[in-house]
């Protein structure tokens, strides 16, 4: 699948390696070497359509976390997948990148085959998620799941799922971005909003209940040790 990829990386050698590799795979690339140039491009009214961002974390002018947060908040770009590529490899660095809105995280030095696989997976996930707007209904379809976001109803294998509101919100969050790792803190933010304070441990309890109600489909919810959860991306 051919795509237009933005490569935001200040080290020219690494930028060249990534862009040449992507173009050899048939993708179009647009390269940036600092944060302000990338932000100006993203905010421009004449910015051409693009499909994915490969983003370094440590950039001159505006760091990758700031750019990632902007992408997630800006209406035109909020649904675009972001692959963060960085030399910072501590668990807390990865969590920080994911909480800023990155969909995946690759550490330097990286293997080009792994980079290609991660990019392909993100593009595939983005393509596989289909949303239909039919009248007042906002329907999300992903593989064996169907979710009515307006009526807060969910189906698995064509069977109506009896979910609590918190379980529904968690499932909807996972299915909007299959394969993306969600930290416990971000999941707390998704289901918070009532008078009850939601803790990280409460999230674990909700996930346990959700898996049980999903039956065989519950195995798709994967635990990412030390980080959080995700729904596996399936073909």
pLDDT tier at 66 (50, 70, 90 boundaries)? Answer: very high
pLDDT, average across residues 109-137: 74
Task: Say if residue 221 is in the same domain as residue 112.
Answer: no
Task: Say if residue 78 is in the same domain as residue 151.
Answer: no
For residues 155 and 146, the answer to whether their CB atoms sit within 8 Å is: yes
| C-alpha span between 176 and 167 (Å, rounded) | 14
Q: Which has the minimum average pLDDT: 33-37, 43-47, 98-102?
A: 43-47
For the chain, what is the mean pLDDT?
Answer: 86
Pull the structure tokens for residue 17.
Answer: 């390696």
pLDDT, average across residues 54-75: 91
For the chain, percent of residues with pLDDT exceeding 70: 90
Asked whether the predicted pLDDT for residue 37 surpasses 50, the reply is yes
Q: Which has the minimum average pLDDT: 16-25, 39-48, 103-112?
A: 39-48
Task: Say if residue 65 is in the same domain as residue 176.
Answer: no
For residues 82 and 105, the answer to whether their CB atoms sit within 8 Å is: no
What integer pLDDT is reported at residue 136 of this predicted model?
Answer: 42
Task: Say if residue 35 is in the same domain as residue 48.
Answer: yes
Asked whether the predicted pLDDT for residue 132 surpasses 70, the reply is no
Task: Say if residue 159 is in the same domain as residue 123.
Answer: no
Q: The CATH number of the domain where 153 resides is what?
A: 1.10.10.10
Task: Say if residue 141 is in the same domain as residue 63.
Answer: no
Task: Say if residue 115 is in the same domain as residue 29.
Answer: yes
* 94, 127, 160 - which closes a domain: 127
Asked whether the predicted pLDDT for residue 84 surpasses 80, the reply is yes
Q: What is the DSSP string of 130-172?
A: EEEEETTEEEEEETTEEEETTTTEEEETTEEP---HHHHHHHH
pLDDT tier at 133 (50, 70, 90 boundaries)? Answer: very low
Q: The CATH number of the domain where 120 resides is what?
A: 3.40.50.2300
Domain that holds residue 116: 4-127
What integer pLDDT is reported at residue 198 of this predicted model?
Answer: 53
pLDDT, average across residues 22-29: 96
What integer pLDDT is reported at residue 195 of this predicted model?
Answer: 42
Task: Say if residue 138 is in the same domain as residue 106.
Answer: no
What integer pLDDT is reported at residue 199 of this predicted model?
Answer: 60
Asked whether the predicted pLDDT for residue 32 surpasses 80, the reply is yes
Task: Say if residue 168 is in the same domain as residue 191.
Answer: yes
Task: Say if residue 94 is in the same domain as residue 14.
Answer: yes
Task: Say if residue 66 is in the same domain as residue 178.
Answer: no
For residues 180 and 103, the answer to whether their CB atoms sit within 8 Å is: yes
* 127, 155, 190 - which closes a domain: 127
For the chain, what is the domain count? 2
* 104, 127, 150 - which closes a domain: 127
For residues 147 and 172, the answer to whether their CB atoms sit within 8 Å is: yes
Q: What pTM does this model have?
A: 0.62
What integer pLDDT is reported at residue 10 of this predicted model?
Answer: 96
Task: Say if residue 69 is in the same domain as residue 117.
Answer: yes
Provide the strand spans (E) within the chain. Answer: 4-8, 28-32, 52-56, 82-86, 104-107, 130-134, 137-142, 145-148, 153-156, 159-160, 182-183, 221-224, 228-231
What integer pLDDT is reported at residue 85 of this predicted model?
Answer: 93
Asked whether the predicted pLDDT for residue 128 surpasses 70, the reply is no
49 burial level (CB within 10 Å; 0-12, 13-18, 19+): exposed
């Amino acid at each position: 699948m051919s795509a237009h990829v933005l490569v935001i990386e200040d080290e020219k050698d690494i930028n060249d390696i990534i862009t040449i590799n992507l173009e050899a795979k048939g993708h179009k690339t647009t390269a940036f070497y600092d944060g302000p140039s990338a932000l100006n491009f993203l905010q421009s009214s004449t910015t051409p359509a693009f499909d994915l961002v490969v983003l370094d974390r440590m950039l001159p002018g505006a760091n990758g976390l700031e750019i990632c947060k902007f992408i997630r908040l800006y209406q035109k770009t909020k649904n675009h997948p972001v692959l963060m590529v960085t030399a910072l490899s501590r668990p807390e660095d990865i969590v920080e990148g994911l909480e800023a809105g990155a969909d995946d995280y690759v550490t330097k030095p990286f293997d080009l085959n792994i980079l290609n696989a991660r990019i392909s997976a993100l593009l595939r996930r983005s393509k596989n998620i289909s949303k239909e707007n039919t009248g007042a209904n906002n329907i999300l379809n992903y593989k064996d799941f169907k979710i009515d976001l307006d009526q807060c109803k969910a189906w698995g294998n064509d069977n109506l799922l009896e979910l609590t509101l918190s379980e529904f919100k968690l499932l909807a969050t996972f299915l909007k971005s299959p394969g993306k790792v969600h930290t416990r803190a971000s999941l707390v933010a998704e289901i918070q909003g009532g008078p009850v304070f939601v803790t990280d441990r409460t999230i674990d309890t909700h996930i346990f209940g959700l898996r049980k109600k999903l039956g065989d489909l519950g195995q798709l919810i994967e635990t990412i040790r030390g980080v959080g959860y995700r729904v596996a991306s399936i073909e």
